């Protein structure tokens, strides 16, 4: 399943991110074991961190969503979920994820949001959804692909 839509401004991107996160809450029972993995694809400045902010705040985080560019990962405890927001842009070698203890991040009831997932190939879990954000002049288009049954559960009811 694939859906594509035009996003005129940042508010439209945040709205789509929060609608997907609402489905995460609605369908928790069908998603919890082991959880969800979402790959965020697109050039620098496309909106991957902005999407993550809308998603994480909708799941209940009240504060700032910091870009994990330097820390590689920021973790949010948002019961019933643990959300790991990765940005692997600065990862020199995918094997570093092994040294970081990536396996400890992959229990049940977890959500992995990954910017630049290509750089962690072989160590990140495979995606349930890929979200690709492209520039359209100063606006954006977004394409969401569901690659697993869990991904389809989330995407199915989203109006684009």
Is residue 85 a contact residue for Mg ion (CB under 5 A)? Answer: no
Which residues, 110 to 129, sit near ligand ADP by CB under 6 A? 115
The stretch near Mg ion (CB under 5 A) out of 8-16, 44-52, 54-62, 134-142 is 44-52
Q: What dihedral angle (degrees, nearest 10) is formed by the CA atoms of 124, 111, 56, 24? A: 140
Helices and strands: H and E segment counts in the chain: 5, 7
From 42, 54, 125, 151, residue interacting with ligand ADP (rule: CB under 6 A): 42
49-68 footprint of Mg ion as x/- string (CB under 5 A): x-------------------
Burial class (CB in 10 A: 0-12, 13-18, 19+), 36: buried
Q: Which stretch binds ligand ADP (CB under 6 A): 4-12, 78-86, 101-109, 147-155?
A: 4-12
Question: Binding residue for ligand ADP (CB under 6 A) from 17, 20, 36, 49?
Answer: 49
Q: Which of 16, 21, 24, 48 binds Mg ion (CB under 5 A)?
A: 48
Rounded to 5 degrees, φ, ψ at 27 are -105, 25
User: In 3D, which of 117, 145, 112 has the Cα closest to residue 131?
Assistant: 145
Whether 129 and 38 have beta carbons less than 8 Å apart is answered as yes
Q: Kind of pairing, strands 139-146 and 2-7?
A: antiparallel
Residues counted in the chain: 160
138 counts as binding ligand ADP under rule CB under 6 A: yes
- Out of 20, 36, 41, 50, the only residue in the binding site for ligand ADP (CB under 6 A) is 50
Question: Site residues for Mg ion, window 117-156 (CB under 5 A)?
Answer: none
Q: Which residues bind ligand ADP (CB under 6 A)?
A: 7, 9-10, 12-13, 42, 44-50, 115, 138-140
């Amino acid at each position: 399943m694939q859906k594509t839509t035009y996003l005129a401004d940042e508010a439209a991107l945040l709205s789509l991110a929060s609608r997907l996160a609402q489905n995460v809450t609605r369908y928790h029972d069908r998603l919890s074991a082991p959880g969800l993995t979402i790959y965020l694809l697109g050039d620098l400045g496309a909106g991957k961190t902005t999407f993550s902010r809308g998603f994480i705040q909708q799941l209940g985080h009240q504060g700032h969503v910091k870009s994990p560019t330097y820390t590689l990962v920021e973790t949010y405890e948002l019961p019933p979920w643990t959300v790991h927001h990765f940005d692997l842009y600065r990862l020199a070698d995918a094997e570093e994820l092994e040294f970081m203890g990536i396996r400890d991040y992959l229990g049940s009831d977890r959500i992995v949001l990954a910017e630049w997932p290509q750089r962690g190939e072989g160590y990140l879990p495979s995606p349930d959804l890929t979200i690709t954000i492209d520039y359209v002049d100063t606006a954006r288009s977004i394409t969401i692909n569901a690659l697993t049954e869990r991904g389809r559960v989330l995407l199915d009811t989203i109006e684009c």
